[in-house]
Amino acid sequence: MPDGRNHCCSPPRPHGLVLAISVLLLAVGLPAEALGAAQEGVSAEGPGKKPTTALVLSMLVPGGGQAYNGKWLKALIVAGGEVAFLERLAYEYRMVSRFRSKVECARLWGNTADANRYESKLRHHKSHRTDFIWWTSLYVVLSMVDAYVDAHLAGFNVSLQAPAESEGAVGISLQVAW
Question: 127-145 pLDDT, tens per residue?
Answer: 999 999 999 999 999 999 9
pLDDT digits (tens, 9 = 90+) for 70-119: 999 999 999 999 999 999 999 999 999 999 999 999 999 999 999 999 99
| 166 φ, ψ (degrees, to nearest 5) | -135, 155
* pTM score of the predicted model: 0.63
Domain extents for the chain?
A: 17-177
DSSP string, 121-133: HHHHHHHHHHHHH
Q: Are 68 and 175 in contact (CB under 8 A)?
A: no
In this model, does residue 27 exceed pLDDT 50?
no
Residues 6 or more apart whose Cβ sits within 8 Å of residue 46 = 155
Q: Please give the torsion angle defined by the CA atoms of residues 32, 35, 38 and 44, in that order, rounded to the nearest 10 degrees.
A: -10
